[in-house]
Amino acid sequence: MNCSSLVLDPTPVATSRCSYRRPTLHFQHHRRNFVFCSLKPVASSSLSVAESASSESLNRIGSLSQVSGVLGSQWGDEGKGKLVDILAQHFDIVARCQGGANAGHTIYNSEGKKFALHLVPSGILNEETLCVIGNGVVVHLPGLFKEIDGLEANGVSCKGRILVSDRAHLLFDFHQVVDGLREAELNKSFIGTTRRGIGPAYSSKMNRNGIRVSDLRHMDTFPQKLHNLLSDVTSRFPDFNYTPEMLKEEVENYKRYAERLEPFIADTVHLMNESIAQKKRILVEGGQATMLDIDFGTYPFVTSSSPSAGGICTGLGIAPRVVGDLIGVVKAYTTRVGSGPFPTEILGQGGDILRFAGQEFGTTTGRPRRCGWLDVVALKFCCEINGFSSLNLTKLDVLSDLPEIKLGVAYKHVDGTPVESFPADLQLLEQLKVEYEVLPGWQSDISSIRNYSDLPKAARQYVERIEELVGVPIHYIGVGPGRDALIYK
C-alpha cells in the first residue's frame, strides 16, 4: 500500500487539568513510618482533562475498583504513563510493582511540559498522590536520585511523596556492565536489552546473593555482601575487572546513597495492605508489557520480571482478591524494541513512515522501534492472561493519513491450517503466515476530537472491530500526547 502521504502535525496540543478532585490525602512521614492522618475535601478546580469531558466520563473513572491496574498489552511503549497520569488524579496511591529503569513512561503536565520517567511512578505530577516503588522493582539509586533531582528542578515536589520498599533489590552500575557483557557473549543471538542492568539484577536476586534496600541500614555488613556479589560476577565473567579499589569506592558511594535514601524507605507491603484496609484508592502502574513477560512473552526475547497481572500481587505484597479492574493499554498499531519475533512487522518504507509519524523512539534508550500492524492474535492472548476489564487504545491519530489500515486477525501454519493461539514456539512464530483484514482509512486529522461520536465513521469502525475481535471494550482512546487528548467511550 502507499503510505507516502503520512505526515506529522506540528500543531502543539493544549492541555489542562481535571476538574474532579478526590479528597486531599494528609499524611505524616516520620522517617520509615508512613501514617495516614485525615481526609479533607478540597474546592473543585475550574480546569479539566478535556474541555468537552462529560460527567459520564468522570463517572467511568470514579467507578474503577479500589485497587486498579494499568498494564501493557503488547511489547511495551503503548503509552501507559499518560493514562496513569490522568487516572492518578482520582487515586491516593500510584505503585510500581516490577521492572526497573528500563521502563520509560512519557507524560505531560498541565502546561504541556514533557517528563520522561523511568523509576518514579507516573502519578508524581499529581501533587496529592503518593508514589510507591514496590518490592518487585529493581532500583538503581544513582538513576533514581537523578530522576528526583530533575523533577524537583522543574517544580515537582518529591519530598514525602515517594516511598521505596525495603524489600526491593538494588541494581548496581556493575549490573549494567554485566548486561553488556552478556549481550556481547550472545553475539548474533543477543536479546536486545536496554543494557540498564535489569536482567543481571534479577539474576542476582534469584541467585539469592542480591542486595536489598534494607541492607543499606547495615553498613557494617554491606561491604562483605557487595564483595560476595562482585566475586560471583567475576567468576562468571572473567573479563569483568573487579579490584579492591572498586569495592572501596562503591561502598563509599552507597554510604552516601543510604543516608539520602533513608527518608524514602518504607515497609511498603504493610503500607499497601493498611491502605487497602483504610479504603484508600490504589492504582498499579505496570512496566513493559505482557508480550515481554518472562513466562508469557516471546522468550527469551523478554524482560526479567512479570509485567502481566500476576506481577501485581508478588511485586507489591497484596492479595489477588483485592485486585479489581485492570486496563490494558494497546497502541493502534504494534511496535517492539530489540530482537525477537514480530509477526505483523512492516518492513521497509512503510515501517519507516509509521515510525516517524508516531515518533517511535525509545524513551529510555532513544532506539528506533520496529513498527507493524495491530496484532489482534497477540492482543487477545494478553487479554486472556490478564483478564482486562477494558482497553485504552492509544495513538489512533497516528493512523489518520493512511488510505487503508490492516488488522492481523489470525495466524496460519505454512500449510494453511489455523494456529489457535499465540504460540510459545519461536520457530513457528517466524514461519507462520498472518491473515489480514483490510479496513478503510479516514484520512483526516482527529487530534482535536474529544467525543467518540465526532470521530470519522472509518475510525469508529476500526475501534469497534478491535472490540469485536478481542471481546473487551475500549473505554479510552488516545488521539495525541497531551493530557486532554483522550476520548472517553
Q: What domains appear along the chain, each with residue ranges and CATH number?
A: 57-163+266-327 (3.40.440.10), 169-262 (1.10.300.10), 330-488 (3.90.170.10)
Q: What is the C-alpha to C-alpha distance for residues 485 and 206, in angstroms, rounded to an integer?
A: 42
Q: What is the C-alpha to C-alpha distance for residues 108 and 113, in angstroms, rounded to an integer?
A: 5
How many Cβ atoms sit within 10 Å of the Cβ of residue 187?
Answer: 7
Measured at the alpha carbon of residue 295, what is the angle toward residues 290 and 296, in degrees to the nearest 5? 40
458 is in an annotated binding site: no
DSSP secondary structure, 251-320, as one string: HHHHHHHHHHHGGGEE-HHHHHHHHHHTT--EEEE--S-GGG-TTTSSTTSS-SS--STHHHHHHHT--G
* Start-to-end Cα distance in the chain: 30
77 has catalytic annotation: yes
Confidence bin at 22 (pLDDT 50/70/90): very low
Using the CB atoms, write b or e for 59-95: b if 16+ within 10 Å.
eebeebebbbbbbbbbbbbbbbbbbbbbbbbbbbbbb
Q: What is the C-alpha to C-alpha distance for residues 412 and 422, in angstroms, rounded to an integer?
A: 11
Q: Are 229 and 215 in contact (CB under 8 A)?
A: no
Q: Are 51 and 450 in contact (CB under 8 A)?
A: yes
What are 201-221's pLDDT values in tens digits? 999 999 999 999 999 999 999
29 is in an annotated binding site: no
User: Which of 178-192, 231-245, 311-325, 389-403 is predicted least confidently?
Assistant: 178-192
Q: Which residue has the higher pLDDT, 24 or 335?
A: 335
Q: What is the C-alpha to C-alpha distance for residues 446 and 466, in angstroms, rounded to an integer?
A: 18
76 is in an annotated binding site: yes
Supply the pLDDT for residue 37: 38
134 is in an annotated binding site: no
Q: What is the C-alpha to C-alpha distance for residues 291 and 51, in angstroms, rounded to an integer?
A: 35
CA dihedral defined by 41, 43, 45, 46, rounded to 10 degrees? 140
Q: Catalytic one among 85, 90, 105, 475?
A: 105
372 is in an annotated binding site: no
What are 90-122's pLDDT values in tens digits? 999 999 999 998 767 778 887 878 888 899 998
Residue 19 clears pLDDT 60, i.e. is over it:
no
What are 469-481's pLDDT values in tens digits? 999 999 999 999 8
User: In this structure, what C-alpha cell is assigned to residue 258?
Assistant: 543510604
Beta bridge pairs of residue 137:
99
Q: Are 396 and 226 in contact (CB under 8 A)?
A: no
Q: Are 88 and 126 in contact (CB under 8 A)?
A: yes
Residue 224 clears pLDDT 60, i.e. is over it:
yes
Residue 258 clears pLDDT 70, i.e. is over it:
yes
Measured at the alpha carbon of residue 119, what is the angle toward residues 302 and 314, in degrees to the nearest 5? 60
- pTM of the predicted structure, to 2 decimals: 0.85
397 is in an annotated binding site: yes
Supply the pLDDT for residue 53: 52
Q: What is the C-alpha to C-alpha distance for residues 463 and 488, in angstroms, rounded to an integer?
A: 12
What are 137-196's pLDDT values in tens digits? 999 999 999 999 999 999 999 999 999 999 999 999 999 888 877 777 666 555 655 677
User: In this structure, what C-alpha cell is assigned to residue 262?
Assistant: 533513608
Nearest Cα residue to 120 out of 87, 86, 150: 150
26 has catalytic annotation: no
169 has catalytic annotation: no
Supply the pLDDT for residue 103: 67
482 is in an annotated binding site: no
Residue 135 clears pLDDT 80, i.e. is over it:
yes
Residue with cell 508469557: 296
365 is in an annotated binding site: yes
Q: Catalytic one among 118, 140, 205, 475?
A: 205
Mean pLDDT of 337-351: 90
Q: What is the C-alpha to C-alpha distance for residues 264 and 411, in angstroms, rounded to an integer?
A: 48
Residue 362 clears pLDDT 80, i.e. is over it:
no
Residue 251 clears pLDDT 80, i.e. is over it:
yes
